[in-house]
């Protein structure tokens, strides 16, 4: 229990017929700040995102469609709900966002209860999308920090640049950002379920969500990374392990869905996607990998791509997703054969596109 005033920061959750998963973070309450305008103000605003003040020991109650549970924030301020329904709760015909309420039971919370969006995939679809974020959806330059440090540290969501072709690609696969928000919600309902897995820290969740909204990209639950100053979280190998574990968790959570995996070759995506293909036969419909610079794939990455192909899963690689969107433009994803159509289209139009991105 904390005597300090707190804010509940919910992250988008998701559910199936049998389970609900939701994560939130409990932070020290802070007054709203003015919108940053100058470069220095933007730098300071970004720095504050990495300097959050977490609060441990707060009991949080979750309410969703008659389900009620409690959990206590840990040393990093995280609250995690992984709940089984007492009886199956049918999914909707079409994917949409439901809402859960998070309330503080023993810590002062001036802002009151927080509404947390819960993604409920529709029964009318047969595949989902799992995508990386950094240098797959938005240009970050983290693969070359020395050259791109201004972009990494001093930008607002509106200042960031989307990866070429990603909006069209996602529109072809998922129908864009979705329709109008349902009654009582402020998040557009997706036409298809998108999940994002990234090595970005949880502190950037709001930043990344705003970027998706500004660029008309589908919103979806994110699995980000809890960064710490140790070898386990800072090492380059940790990126691939984090993503492989997150993908495996989603495949287990949604056993009836197959997934298209979209990523790049800068932070362990190739190895993680190969692991998913080999470890979960028949669950991956296709893999799209973007090259972030003009360097060739490493020997390990070449071997991972070969392993994906040997498993019978089609792969596309290229430097910009505009070529990938051409490949997927003719897809009809409305039928029950949508996964097979994705696979055939990828296989037929597999491209090696080596031109560098400016």
What residues contact 339, with CB distance under 8 A and at least 6 apart? Answer: 126, 127, 258, 285
Distance, first Cα to last Cα, the chain: 51
What residues contact 23, with CB distance under 8 A and at least 6 apart? Answer: 11, 13, 78, 79, 80, 81
What residues contact 326, with CB distance under 8 A and at least 6 apart? Answer: 349
Q: How many CB atoms lie within 10 A of CB 5?
A: 15
The predicted structure's pLDDT at residue 18: 96
CA dihedral sign of residues 97, 224, 280, 89: negative
Window from 110-114, 153-157, 210-214, 222-226 with minimum mean pLDDT: 153-157
Q: Tokens 């509404």 label which residue?
A: 115
Q: Is the pLDDT of residue 300 over 80?
A: yes
Q: List every span in the chain annotated with CATH 3.40.50.
A: 127-353
The predicted structure's pLDDT at residue 331: 44
Instruction: Report residue 209 as tokens.
Output: 């969500």
Instruction: Report residue 25 as tokens.
Output: 């973070």
Q: What is the pLDDT of residues 81-131, one digit of tens each?
A: 999 999 999 999 989 899 999 999 999 999 899 999 999 999 988 889 999
Contact 135, 292 (CB under 8 A): yes
What residues contact 104, with CB distance under 8 A and at least 6 apart? Answer: 6, 8, 26, 58, 59, 60, 61, 113
Q: What is the pLDDT of residues 164-185, one digit of tens each?
A: 888 888 877 775 554 444 444 5
Distance, CA of 53 to CA of 30 (rounded, Å) = 10
CA dihedral sign of residues 187, 322, 135, 250: positive
Q: How do beta strands 284-290 and 315-318 pair?
A: parallel
Contact 261, 288 (CB under 8 A): yes
Q: List every span in the chain annotated with CATH 2.60.40.
A: 6-120
The predicted structure's pLDDT at residue 21: 98
Contact 98, 118 (CB under 8 A): yes
Q: Is the pLDDT of residue 230 over 50?
A: no
Instruction: Report residue 12 as tokens.
Output: 């988008």
H or E stretch covering 261: strand 258-264
Name the residue among 190, 158, 185 with its Cα closest to residue 171. 190
User: Could you give the dihedral angle defined by the CA atoms of residues 63, 66, 69 and 73, in that order, rounded to the nearest 10 degrees?
Assistant: -10
At the topology level, CATH places domain 127-353 in: Rossmann fold (3.40.50)
Mean pLDDT of the chain: 78
The predicted structure's pLDDT at residue 161: 80
Q: Give this prediction's pTM.
A: 0.83
Please give the full DSSP string across 155-209, using - where no structure is assigned: --GGGS-BPTTHHHHHHHHH-TT-SPPPTT--SPPPSS-EEEEEEEEGGGHHHHH
Architecture of the domain delimited by 6-120: Sandwich (2.60)
Given pLDDT bands bounded at 50, 70 and 90, which one contains residue 32? low
Q: What is the pLDDT of residues 235-264, one digit of tens each?
A: 445 567 899 999 999 999 999 999 999 999
Window from 41-50, 98-107, 117-126, 195-204 with minimum mean pLDDT: 41-50
Q: Is the pLDDT of residue 16 over 90?
A: yes
Instruction: Report residue 50 as tokens.
Output: 């990495």
H or E stretch covering 80: strand 78-84
Window from 7-11, 188-192, 281-285 with minimum mean pLDDT: 188-192
């Amino acid at each position: 229990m904390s005597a300090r005033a707190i804010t509940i920061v919910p992250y988008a959750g998701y559910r199936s017929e049998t389970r609900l998963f939701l994560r939130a973070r409990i932070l020290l309450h802070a007054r709203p700040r003015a919108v940053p305008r100058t470069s220095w103000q933007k730098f300071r605003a970004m720095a504050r995102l990495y300097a959050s003040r977490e609060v441990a020991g707060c009991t949080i109650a979750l309410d969703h469609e008659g389900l009620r549970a409690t959990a206590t924030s840990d040393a990093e301020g995280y609250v995690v709900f992984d709940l089984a329904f007492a009886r199956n709760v049918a999914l909707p015909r079409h994917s949409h966002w439901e809402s859960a309420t998070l309330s503080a039971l023993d810590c002062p919370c001036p802002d009151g209860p927080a509404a947390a969006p819960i993604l409920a995939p529709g029964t009318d679809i047969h595949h989902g999308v799992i995508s990386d974020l950094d240098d797959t959806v938005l240009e970050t330059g983290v693969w070359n920090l020395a050259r791109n440090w201004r972009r990494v540290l001093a930008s607002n969501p509106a200042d960031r640049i989307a990866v070429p072709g990603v909006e069209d690609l996602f529109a072809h696969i998922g129908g864009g950002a979705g329709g109008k928000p349902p009654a009582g919600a402020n998040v557009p309902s997706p036409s298809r379920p998108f999940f994002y897995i990234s090595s970005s820290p949880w502190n950037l969740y709001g930043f990344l969500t705003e970027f998706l909204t500004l660029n008309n990209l589908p919103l979806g639950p994110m699995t980000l990374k809890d960064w710490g100053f140790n070898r386990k979280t800072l090492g380059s190998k940790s990126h691939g392990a984090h993503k492989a574990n997150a993908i495996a968790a989603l495949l287990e959570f949604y056993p009836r869905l197959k997934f298209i995996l979209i990523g790049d070759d800068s932070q362990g995506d190739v190895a993680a996607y190969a692991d998913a293909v080999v470890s979960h036969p028949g669950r991956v419909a296709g893999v799209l990998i973007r090259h972030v610079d003009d360097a060739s794939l490493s020997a390990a990455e070449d071997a991972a791509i070969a392993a994906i192909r040997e498993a019978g899963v089609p792969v596309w690689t290229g430097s910009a997703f505009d070529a990938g969107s051409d490949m997927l433009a003719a897809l009809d994803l409305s039928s029950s054969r949508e996964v097979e159509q994705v696979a055939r289209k990828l296989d037929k139009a597999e491209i090696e596109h080596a031109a560098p991105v400016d």
